[in-house]
Structure 1
């Protein structure tokens, strides 16, 4: 019941898509470049800030969401001076074929990797929040030589934690769709098959060879903290650092941005990185 109430509050309070022009006005003097890449007939939209740095940090949002979930990081002085930044609309959200979900983690990983391949940065760090967590994890599995580190923020990565929630089947009907905002309909379409997707990824965790930081709230009612335990089981302690935030909920990018920024700085400084 608590989860349903929380979801209702999110639906009524959050704006998941903002126009690029509005985002540019929000950032004032920060120059953002917006781009689109066609990947197997799917438009992939992104926001990019070129600081002519050696390291690119790439943000991948949760479900629902859009690139603008990370807009405040584009305005963080501690990142502006050191990194190029990229944030992507995942398939089905924002301006990446809005309304048409892509349930495959492998396909989503390929799509975003294709976008990142456009940028020649010597070092690239992945940051994934919520369902963005398994997406960037799959990127690290399938393209192990392309990234130097990964940050998983409240990631939904443990298949055992994906429960069969009754309301998802209700949303996935013609009547349910009439009363469900499109963002949540797309979200539902990719979350319903997520358990199977995560099960398929189980034998691939050993392919991850980059340092990984998991940031998880202890009071997360949407993605249980046991997902951090799963990461400890699947990754060697030589690669993994887990940061549990006491009392934090699921919305860490907004409530605890400094922890994410510190994790980015740690990875860029070579923590656990073997060139």
Structure 2
């Protein structure tokens, strides 16, 4: 995952966390959002959800840094709200899931997400992961192959060969570097430092993905190479994979092209 310092500094001004009460006010009265916390081992996993007893459950997993509210606009979308239940989860170290304490292991992150989703049993589950959320949901499908109906990988960091080790990451990981780094980026840095190794460990597991998968990737993504989409083609059979390359789109597809994600959701929901 390539991130220039200038972009990091720009993003540091963004609001990555939103407290539950602010989110509630942002969504109500049209959306009756609920919040939950689940203890998984020594971790707390925080999540937001709308449960109207629909057949399909959409699960949104954010990138790095980020939090569940990266997808708050999808909770407002009438076309989704009336047809799907939705849940967005704070990954470990972000939002309300042990903020500041990184969890570099994708296997452990996948386990934590899956434990939360056990509370929504009986639904057809579609996983949507943006950026680093992409390999997290891929790992979920690898480790729990019978639990999910489909995957939507949005600008995902999945090819270990494309992971570059920026010099600034080692600086951030020092005591002095951490002092001058916003906590969200300190956590992000910790999990991205080990991402290449984590993705290498996943290489023999891709064959365990047996569900339809859609990759949405921008051709002008400066943070995650579009070649990650090509990698997906080598790992997932053509019968299960559809790649949607968006011309001139950058990394921030959930906000610039949300309609493409909605279209992908419908494709998977309608597939038998």
Structure 1: 4+ residue segments shifted above 3 A: none
Gaps of 5+ in 2: none
- In the alignment, the residues of structure 1 paired with residue 3 and residue 263 of structure 2 have an alpha-carbon distance, to the nearest angstrom, of 31
CA contact (8 A) 1:55 1:121 kept: no
Deviates more, 1:132-141 or 1:22-31: 22-31
Q: Does 1:48 align with 2:49?
A: yes
Q: Who is 2:227 aligned against?
A: 226
Q: Per-residue CA shift, 1:60-95, capped at 9, x if unaligned?
A: 000000000000000001101110000000000001
Shift of 1:100: 0.3
| Aligned partner of residue 224 in structure 2, secondary structure | coil
CA change 1:230–1:2 in 2 (3 A) is closer
CA contact (8 A) 2:141 2:148 kept: yes
Q: Who is 1:205 aligned against?
A: 206
Shift of 1:122: 2.5
CA contact (8 A) 1:53 1:121 kept: no
Deviates more, 1:82-91 or 1:23-32: 23-32
| Aligned partner of residue 75 in structure 2, secondary structure | helix
Q: Who is 2:263 aligned against?
A: 262
What is the 5 A alignment of 1:158-237?
Answer: 158-237=159-238
Q: Per-residue CA shift, 1:119-144, capped at 9, x if unaligned?
A: 12420000000000000000000000
TM-score (norm 2): 0.98
CA RMSD between the two structures: 1.1
Q: Who is 2:19 aligned against?
A: 19
Q: Does 1:96 align with 2:74?
A: no
| Aligned partner of residue 98 in structure 1, secondary structure | coil
Q: Who is 1:28 aligned against?
A: 28
- In the alignment, the residues of structure 1 paired with residue 4 and residue 172 of structure 2 have an alpha-carbon distance, to the nearest angstrom, of 15
Q: Who is 1:75 aligned against?
A: 76
Q: Who is 1:131 aligned against?
A: 132
Shift of 1:2: 8.0
Shift of 1:7: 1.7
